[in-house]
Structure 1
């Protein structure tokens, strides 16, 4: 399976690419569609950007909404999830003393976003420590709810965490936030194409995710979803052609006939929309290659590899299996120089994989996608065994 699929990707053959989670990798047929869109744009820029763009942008929105379980009217195309979450964070009316509740597992770019918002508004960031290892849903949810106060205005959570590759069970936390009048803002950077989503059922106020990671579109393709009741709270980061002065009025239309939410954010003047326009092609590629089966195989390969490494290190996983992202796993390592290990994996073994320290834990974060294979996992285990002296370490622990 992996050999046939590997030929459909553009990754260098001399690199063992185990880091799909960072920027994704685009299949050749989807990339070719992307280039055709770019060529169409260059052949008649005025027609493409000036006359046809509103209708053209609607097509991927409709296709993606079916995949995400939501209305296409509640979805807008963006370049990345960080942009979507910045739109939300910088739009919400926060005041001194208001609290933004979040966890100690969030992505650093968004930690900085909320720090910026807090400095500008006087709001306070409250970080709860998720109990580790994460073994039960109640363990997570009870911790989040215990952090809510009368001053909590925003609940910000990752759905799948970047540093620890955990799949947080966020449903009850979102429901409780709604009951208390707390805005829920979800970082779904790793979720589209990785786990099954039903955004309407989830009920988060705001949810932003990347398509260029696990959905495998080209870089620069993402979305922001907002419930209809809260769309009027949002302002674009850049005011451009799609914005109208009455955008906050009930029943208002954007400058191009969509809602102010869509037109104000999506229609930003001159930019290359080609990555977003490939969403239908990426969905077709997944269907044509039975990606449900591919993903199940990748999940098994990821979990097997993590278990093998755990047997060598004697270190427990960060969570029970149901709270681990299906195709991405943060594997604890013995105390080590993480930069030296990461560099040696690339320089000596041609393995591209993130190795870093999160809090007090050294981690190698493994991503497994359809182009990866069991021999590549064997190579990784052998390389880590060599670099970390795991055979000797395992004997010492056994004694």
Structure 2
């Protein structure tokens, strides 16, 4: 079976010709780093060429630099349900979350409430901050399989105490590809005066967002994953009432001593925006290409594309489940729409990952989470039914199903 057979179909049916991915690979791992469409990558390169053609003019706030950064914020804010004053571009979600986490004034005994499904880099960030401040990280267990919103909300709220200062949740989890129904937990945290910090690494372009309406205090998400912007593009959102709490990890041109008091930055934006955006010499081309990624999605009716991908991802997961007899980690509504962690029988996960690549050219994550052995499937507009057939057949062969 040729896994690329359907790639000869019209672009309206499959968008593989518009991507730069290696045609020899069966790429089922969009969730890790994304994949940038050719037109968006070309826009990214145009910004880089503009930078190199006249670096002094490019970085001059009076000759368009500030306006270019703001234009990207305006375009993205419209897709996130907020305004340009509430977001700022960062290189990745981990950086955005570190800016917030390391700025919070925590004291000994303060509790950070989180779940057992969080991304390891952020678990390390909280451990680092807890060691410095004397705060305590408290982890709640999310019941699996996750079948009802109430089960998630009950577990999280049960972990809240009078010492809870921060609620930290993934919106879509990395290890288990679950779409957490965070809204009720966030609302309860706000009612109790608990700050909410949300890891949205996988959400922009994957699920609709309305950040202002959601009521979160801090939210960071990647643009290079499901929004399909170039690598190095992400955002940090901070609710206006909380922006005075945030300082950059690096103090540079956009910071002023009195900016927090006045709210004003030296480059015509708020202190929050200027202090984070104006960080000296760096290549912002990936961030400046975010509007092109948004336009690409609109031009190709990505709502319809995403729905086809959602159906294909879940149908493939159910095919594997029928072979293994292992139940999914959640009901379909709590699985990330285009990404699903599929349980497989106990196996050496590194061996399975390597064999899938060596024998079938399948690029897909395989890992262990608690007592679950998981193959995390991502389906994007360039993937095909034939590739799903190949994955199912490969797992059947390697696992002797």
- TM bucket normalised to smaller: over 0.9
Q: Offset of 1:208 from its aligned partner?
A: 0.3
Distance 1:252 1:122 in 2: 30
Counterpart of 2:186 in 1: which secondary structure? helix
Specify the alignment match of 2:152 in structure 1: 140
> Matches of 1:108 and 1:266 in 2, distance apart?
27
SS in 1 for 2:167: strand
5+ residue gaps, structure 1, are 391-399
Following superposition, the deviation at residue 252 of structure 1 comes to: 2.6
Q: Does 1:372 align with 2:383?
A: yes
Aligned to 1:216: 228
Equivalent of 1:22 in 32, 36, 56: 32
Work out which of the residue numbers 318, 327, 338 in structure 1 matches 2:349: 338
Following TM superposition, the consecutive aligned residue runs of length 4 or more in structure 1 with deviations greater than 6 angstroms are: none
**SS of the residue 1:326 aligns to:** coil
C-alpha distance in 2, partners of 1:266/1:187? 20
Give the TM-score normalised by structure 1. 0.97
Report the alpha carbon displacement of residue 247 of structure 1 after superposing the two structures with TM. Answer: 2.1
Decide whether the 8 Å contact of 1:232 with 1:247 is kept in 2: no
Give the equivalent residue in structure 1 for 2:178.
166
3-state SS of the aligned residue for 1:371? coil
Matched, 1:97 2:98: no
CA distance in 2, matches of 1:93, 1:141: 26
1:60 Cα offset (Å): 0.8
Q: Deviations over 1:334-360 (max 9, x none)?
A: 001110000000011000000000111
Match of 2:320 in 1: 309
Aligned partners of 2:306 and 2:289: how far apart in 1? Answer: 21
Q: For residue 3 of structure 2, what is the aligned residue in structure 1?
A: none
Which string of whole-angstrom CA distances, capped at 9 and with x for unpartnered residues, describes residues 210-240 of structure 1?
Answer: 0000000000000000000000000100000
User: Displacement of 1:178 after TM fit?
Assistant: 0.6
Match of 1:395 in 2: none
What residue in structure 2 maps to residue 358 of structure 1?
Answer: 369
For 2:108 and 2:39, how far apart are their aligned partners in 1? Answer: 51
C-alpha root-mean-square deviation of aligned residues, in Å? 0.8
Distance (Å, rounded) in 1 between the aligned partners of 2:226 and 2:269? 28
Aligned residues: 389
> Once the two structures are superposed, what CA deviation does each residue of 1:185-222 show, in whole Å capped at 9, x if it has no partner?
00000000000000011010000000000000000000
Task: Give 1:314-333 correspondences, 5 Å limit.
Answer: 314-333=325-344
Deviations 1:312-353 (A, max 9, x none): 000000001110000000000100111000000001100000
Query: Does the aligned pair in 2 maintain the 1:355–1:365 contact within 8 Å?
Result: yes
The CA distance in 2 between the partners of 1:252 and 1:308, in whole Å, is 55
1:31 and 1:252 map into 2 onto residues whose CA distance is: 36
- Alignment equivalent of 1:149, drawn from 161, 165, 171: 161
Please state whether the residue corresponding to 1:248 is helix, strand or coil.
helix
Task: Determine the C-alpha separation between the residues in 2 that align with 1:99 and 1:50.
Answer: 44
CA distance in 2, matches of 1:270, 1:32: 22
Contact preservation (8 Å) 1:70, 1:200 = yes
SS of equivalent residue, structure 2 residue 138: strand
